[in-house]
Structure 1
Amino acid sequence: MTRLSRAAPLLALTAQAAIAQAGTVDPLPADGFIAGSRWSLLNRTVYDQRDYRHGARSNGARNALKPFVERNGYAEEWAYGLMGRFQSGFTAGTVGVGLDAHVHSAIKLDSGGGRAGKARLLGLDDDRRPNDEMTRAGAALKLRTGPSTLTYGEQRVKTPVFGSSDSRLLPETATGWLLDTAVTSDTRVLLGHFTESTDRNASSHGEGFVVNYSNAEQGDRLDFVGLVHGGDRLSASLFGSRYENTWTQHYLGLAYRHPLGDDRALAFALNGYRTTDTGQALSGRIDNTAWSLSSSYLSGPHRFTLGYQHVDGDTPFDYVTRGAIYLGNAAQLSDFNAPNERSWQLRYDVSMDGFGLPGLSFSAAYLRGHDIDGRDVDPSGGYAYLGYGTEGQHWERDLEASYVMQGGAAKGLMVSLRHSVHRGNTAQAELDADQLRLALEWPLGGAL
């Protein structure tokens, strides 16, 4: 399973995996600060090619260094990233003390300013040119007593209402504190307070929060509380969050797996969000309910999935950080989250392990959204600039092949190739695009 996605390899986060991952932290042994420490080093190379059809007629056109009338919709980037991570164990005593630290570096291999105005992998410098290189680092202090761990500082978080994405070259991080308490062996409570998030292609800290759709003034803090329960067949999570002076958001997730015998099973997943404006309502009026329901049939190496998603509200479903969307139809080029949008998905996954080719897998997904209606978007809010109309519709197709080396000196080496296509009419906000992405990564690590 590649790290370059929300859950499934380079495709949208499936709801079943979302429940299992909500609020996950890596377990660490309690045998001392040094003895319990471990390190990891992830080498990653990403080649990303996008052809934005009709991009020259849009403010989102690429090739930003050219005069507006000369811009086209072609973007191409190739970069190498190196992610080093240290996780200590905990000191002995009633309150154990530990430290996590990371360094993320990236180097541009090929990306001319005429081809990559957005610079999705490394970001832009002060002259609006793609960065040649970037490095950022951070650390977090950990305190553990009994079943509770408090982490303060820069860290990666995985929850449905605030989550660090790792879908491009470098991962997101967030600054604040997170309290994780194990109530029982399969039930946990999480409390979080964060004051900023660092985007995937950001070269520095202190830029506030990453908000995906609103262009309004940002809030200064985000707080959340969550309950996560994971069982053999039924998993559930419940979260509530408040993005200061912007919105309150509640999330419910349920996933159920029913074995049928003979290596067959049925799986169902429900993900739902309720978002309303609060305080100064910096992004304008928000009254949004978004939910998705998916069902899967598993037979040996095959998985067939049918999904439905519905957005009820006059604003798009929005979220803070790139990884805080667990809706089943959030795909590669679109989240299918426009005002009043309804969408469905058909997906097929196959693992070639059962055919004598361990480590090789393929997936294909088709999504279609319709009934987009943005006539009643708050004209003074953060979403009016998106220009939603009526009777908006669009579709997306995602194809992927991936292989993970199973043994030898290169064990864990992953190669994935993805091709995505998005098309829609002018009443929806996403650009037409063709995307080709090739990724290679090689993880190294172990105990000190």
Structure 2
Amino acid sequence: MQVMKWSTIALAVAAGSTQMAFASSQSESNGFIEDSSFDIFNRVLYMNRDFRNGASNTAGSGNGYREETGWGLRTLFESGFTQGTIGVGFDAHTLSSLALDSGRGRFGTGQFDQSSDGSAEKTQTEVGGAIKFRVSNTGLKYGSQFVGSPVFSTDDSRILPEVATGTYLVSNEIEGLELSGGRFTAMSSQTSTDRDTFELKAANIYGANYAFTDNLSAGLHYSDVEDYWKKTYLNVNWNLPIAEGQNLNFDVNGYHTKGDGQELGATDDGKGGLSTDNDLWSIAAAYGIGAHTFTVAYQRSTGDASLYNYGVDGGGTIWVANSVQYSDFVSRDEQSYQARYDLNMAEYGVPGLSFMARYIYGDNIDTGVAGEEGKEHEFDFETKYVIQSGAAKDLSFRIRSAIYRANDAQNDFYSADVNDFRFIMDYPLDVM
């Protein structure tokens, strides 16, 4: 499902696309302390899921209703790099959560770990760090980190993010070209302080992004998650300015997933066996005019597996158009359509206020039962306001609401009908 990116704690190496003949990022280093920063990020999340038509709440007491409020506190220290040909630095973070309102009968929104009595853990804390090196415009980091690759992406859709452990290299030595590669051996979930919640053996990832022009770019990424699957991802993004205040954007995303080793993430192939083989792609077209953006998208999922699989490689590893608040629209043979409208109120004198509404419809789903085609649809509504100045600058309030419905075949195959509501308050503080 679509994730919320947390820019203040992204630990990807910051290296701009600069020509080799120009001064490198490392040559401009001011020092370990001089370029260091310390940030505090607060998030309060209220969330409820109301399963309709008598559906059971399998994560709690069986009453079909989940409701919890949590507070997450994140601190991030990022040092600068030492001066010289090879720069050395260190990053450290703490992640803490507090259950403000929960209960055994309402547990299960994905914010907290579960205690022995079935209720939410009241408090949790996690500490991590990473050492980093930089030569010219190439950075290498080893340790705990937050990753934003389309084939290995840590999720941040609850009060705390997932954390990956491993090595990640990002290079920007050639103008417009970014190369990346990494090996990760552990992944903690958003609800657990365990170092390796998913028992990840190893995930090797490689990627290349290239900007042909200011308006045309493409990316190719590959991952090999040991004993799970191999994934190849392709993206093409084209922005077409039309006139003053108007533009057209096309975005194409696609995954090819093939089983590997034991195929531990395999799902029903509809033929009495298991498979992870899947092809998932989407194309979106967005027209922007002033404060308004109109988007339409088409997405298709095919292959033997019952759906596109992800999770052990990060809960955010699904960069396609119709992965939205509740459903991903990735069931076997599913084709889905989206219509979306965005409004930025800055054009009307209210900077920081925005609205979004979208509708997604999916059908042609092979549920594995002859004659039972699955169908699903989802309405999403979102309002967000970010304070622009003063002591509370950057404090944001966000309301997200989803209404998910499906026919009986898809209810049994994917999920029961549900109303999903979230109120999110984010407050980033730049301490130094």
Shift of 1:177: 0.4
Shift of 1:346: 0.4
Q: Residues 46 and 151 (structure 1 numbering): CA distance in 2 closer, same or farther, change over 3 Å?
A: same
Partner of 1:398: 380
Whole-Å separation in 1 of the counterparts to 2:371 and 2:139: 48
In structure 1, give the amino acid aligned to 2:87. G
Whole-Å separation in 1 of the counterparts to 2:292 and 2:331: 31
Alpha-carbon RMSD across the aligned residues, in angstroms, is 2.2
Alignment of 1:118-129 (within 5 A): 118-129=108-119
Superimposed CA distance per residue, residues 250-295 of structure 1 (whole angstroms, 9 cap, x where no aligned partner): 0000110000112001100000111111223332423211100000
Partner of 1:411: 393
Q: 2:342 aligns with which of 338, 341, 349?
A: 349
Whole-Å separation in 2 of the counterparts to 1:389 and 1:240: 37
Superimposed CA distance per residue, residues 340-395 of structure 1 (whole angstroms, 9 cap, x where no aligned partner): 1100100000100000001000000100110110429xxxxxxxxxxx98400100
Partner of 2:217: 235
Tell me, yes or no, if the aligned pair for 1:389 and 1:427 is still in contact at 8 Å: no
Q: 1:437 aligns with which of 419, 422, 427?
A: 422
Partner of 2:19: none
- Deviating more after overlay: 290-299 vs 318-327: 318-327
Alignment of 1:175-194 (within 5 A): 175-194=165-184
Shift of 1:418: 1.4
Partner of 1:304: 294
Tell me, yes or no, if the aligned pair for 1:187 and 1:228 is still in contact at 8 Å: yes
Partner of 1:17: none
Whole-Å separation in 1 of the counterparts to 2:36 and 2:130: 14
TM-score by length of 2: 0.89
Tell me, yes or no, if the aligned pair for 1:45 and 1:81 is still in contact at 8 Å: yes
Shift of 1:38: 0.4
Whole-Å separation in 1 of the counterparts to 2:427 and 2:13: 22
Q: Are 2:52 and 1:43 equivalent residues in the alignment? A: no
Whole-Å separation in 2 of the counterparts to 1:88 and 1:415: 30
Percent identity over paired residues: 37
Superimposed CA distance per residue, residues 151-202 of structure 1 (whole angstroms, 9 cap, x where no aligned partner): 0000000010001111111111100000111132321100010011111111
Superimposed CA distance per residue, residues 118-145 of structure 1 (whole angstroms, 9 cap, x where no aligned partner): 2411221233321111111100110111
Tell me, yes or no, if the aligned pair for 1:52 and 1:61 is still in contact at 8 Å: no
Tell me, yes or no, if the aligned pair for 2:338 and 2:360 is still in contact at 8 Å: yes
Q: Residues 439 and 402 (structure 1 numbering): CA distance in 2 closer, same or farther, change over 3 Å?
A: same
Tell me, yes or no, if the aligned pair for 1:306 and 1:345 is still in contact at 8 Å: yes
Whole-Å separation in 2 of the counterparts to 1:97 and 1:368: 50
Alignment of 1:311-322 (within 5 A): 311-315=301-305, 316-319=307-310, 320-322=313-315
Tell me, yes or no, if the aligned pair for 1:162 and 1:321 is still in contact at 8 Å: yes
Other structure's SS at 1:427 match: helix
Q: Residues 7 and 340 (structure 1 numbering): CA distance in 2 closer, same or farther, change over 3 Å?
A: farther
Q: Residues 7 and 444 (structure 1 numbering): CA distance in 2 closer, same or farther, change over 3 Å?
A: closer
Other structure's SS at 1:175 match: strand
Tell me, yes or no, if the aligned pair for 1:241 and 1:248 is still in contact at 8 Å: yes
Q: Are 2:161 and 1:171 equivalent residues in the alignment? A: yes
Q: 1:364 aligns with which of 357, 366, 369?
A: 357
- Deviating more after overlay: 405-414 vs 280-289: 280-289
Q: Are 2:211 and 1:221 equivalent residues in the alignment? A: no
Q: Are 2:61 and 1:61 equivalent residues in the alignment? A: no
Other structure's SS at 2:346 match: helix
Partner of 2:102: 111
Shift of 1:7: 8.8
Alignment of 1:7-406 (within 5 A): 25-27=13-15, 30-54=29-53, 56-57=55-56, 61-62=58-59, 64=60, 66=61, 71-116=62-107, 118-208=108-198, 220-230=201-211, 231-282=213-264, 283=266, 284-315=274-305, 316-319=307-310, 320-375=313-368, 390-406=372-388
Other structure's SS at 2:153 match: coil
Whole-Å separation in 1 of the counterparts to 2:301 and 2:63: 32
Tell me, yes or no, if the aligned pair for 2:102 and 2:119 is still in contact at 8 Å: no
Runs of 4+ in 1 over 6 A off after TM superposition: none
- Deviating more after overlay: 179-188 vs 268-277: 179-188
Whole-Å separation in 2 of the counterparts to 1:225 and 1:26: 18
Shift of 1:226: 0.2
Superimposed CA distance per residue, residues 390-411 of structure 1 (whole angstroms, 9 cap, x where no aligned partner): 4001000100110000111111
Partner of 1:385: none
Shift of 1:56: 4.2
In structure 2, give the amino acid aligned to 1:46. L
TM-score by length of 1: 0.86
Other structure's SS at 2:347 match: helix
Q: Residues 274 and 389 (structure 1 numbering): CA distance in 2 closer, same or farther, change over 3 Å?
A: farther
Whole-Å separation in 1 of the counterparts to 2:193 and 2:12: 26
